[in-house]
Amino acid sequence: MKYILLIGDGMGDTPVPELGGKTPLEAADKPAIDRLCAAAEPLLVRTVPDGYPPGSDVANLSLLGYEPEKYYTGRAPLEAASMGVAIPEDALAFRCNLVTVEYLDDDCMTMIDYSAGHISSEEAAELIAAVQEACGTDRLCFYPGVSYRHLLIHQGGGPDSLRTVPPHDYMDQDVTEFYQQYLGVDYLAELMRISARVLADHPVNQRRQAEGKRPANSIWIGGGKK
C-alpha cells in the first residue's frame, strides 16, 4: 500500500491581531483543506520527543517512522545524505548557511536574513566555491547545496565547546553571543573573518546589492553532528 503525506511544515503559524486573533491558516480561504478535514479523522500526533529541538528534521523522521531517539544525530548529516556527500569516519558535518548580517562595532552582529534573500542556487554555488578556495583546508571542506543551505565537512571532529543556533530563530535579533562562539576558536575566527571579506568583495554580492537584493555577506555554521 502506498501513502501520500502532505506536510504543512510551519503552516500553523501564530495568531495575528489584524486577522481578529486568528492565524493565517484559520483566516485563509481553503475549501480543499476544509473538505479533506470534514471527511477525515483528525488526530493529534506528537512528533518531537522530549529533549529534542522542535524542528522539521526531528518531526519528519517521526512522520516517516524513524525514531529520533535512535536515528537523529542532527540536521547536517541529513543535508549531507541528500547531497550525496559521505561523512568520513573521523569527521563532522555542519550546515553552512549563507546569511545576511549587519556587522557592528567590537565584533557585534545582528542577523538580518537567514536566507540572504533566498539567494539562488547558482549564485550561492559561486560564493561557496569562493569560500572553499579562500578558506578550504585539509580540515575544512565546503560543499554547495540548494539556495542558502550548504555543507561544511570538518575533519577530525569539531570543538566540543562550540554552541550553534539556527539563524532562522534569530531574525532581526542580536546574535553577538553566538558569533562570539566562533571567534573563541582560533581557526573558526579566521574562517569567519576571511570568508566575510571574500563574500563582501564577490561580484555576485556586488550585483545583488546593485539590484536592491540582500547580499550573502556571511556564512553561519551549525547543526554539527556525525
Residue 9 lies in a domain: no
Residues 6+ apart with CB under 8 A from 104: 110, 176
**Would you say residue 2 lies in a domain?**
no
Residue 3 placed within a domain:
no
With a cut of 90, say whether residue 69 has pLDDT above it: yes
Same domain, 120 and 217: yes
Distance from C-alpha of 26 to C-alpha of 30, rounded to nearest angstrom? 9
- 212 domain residue, yes or no: yes
Tens digits of residue pLDDT in 130-147: 999 999 998 899 999 999
Instruction: For residues 149 and 119, state if they share a domain.
Output: yes
Write down which residue in 34, 49, 71 finishes a domain: 71
Whether residue 226 is predicted with pLDDT greater than 60 in this model: the reply is: no
Cell of 153: 565537512
Q: Domain check: are 131 and 41 in the same one?
A: no
Residues in contact with 26: Cβ distance below 8 Å, sequence separation at least 6, in sequence order: 19
Q: How far apart are CA 10 and CA 61, in angstroms?
A: 16
Residues 129, 145: one domain? yes
Residue 110 pLDDT greater than 60, yes or no:
yes
Q: What is the largest CA-CA distance in the chain?
A: 59
Residues 139 and 195 grouped into a single domain: yes
Q: Count of domains in the chain? A: 2
- 61 plus 96 within the same structural domain: no
Whether residue 185 sits in one domain with residue 114? yes
Residues 211, 125 share a domain:
yes
Residue 24 has pLDDT above 80, yes or no: yes
Give the model's confidence band at 148: pLDDT under 50 very low, under 70 low, under 90 confident, else very high.
very high
Q: pLDDT value at position 160?
A: 58
Average pLDDT over residues 188-194: 90
Region 71-86: mean pLDDT is 89
Residues 37 and 115 reside in one and the same domain: no
Would you say residue 11 lies in a domain?
A: no
**Residue 124 included in any domain:** yes
Residues 6 or more apart from 52 whose CB is under 8 A from it?
58, 68, 72
How does pLDDT run across 172-184, given as a tens digit for each residue?
999 998 888 888 8
- The residues, any chain, with a CB within 8 Å of residue 86's CB and separated by 6 or more, are 80
User: What kind and span of H or E run contains 91?
Assistant: strand 91-103
Does residue 142 lie within any of the structural domains? yes
- Write the pLDDT tens digit of every residue in 91-102: 888 899 999 999
Residues 51, 129 within the same domain: no
pLDDT at residue number 106: 66
Same domain assignment for residues 147 and 45: no
Which of 53, 71, 89 terminates a domain? The answer is 71
Quote the mean pLDDT of the chain. 90
pLDDT at 122: 97
Q: Are residues 140 and 214 in the same domain?
A: yes
So what's the pLDDT on residue 200?
94
Range of the domain at 210: 75-225
Residue 194 lies in a domain: yes
> What does the pLDDT read at residue 92?
86
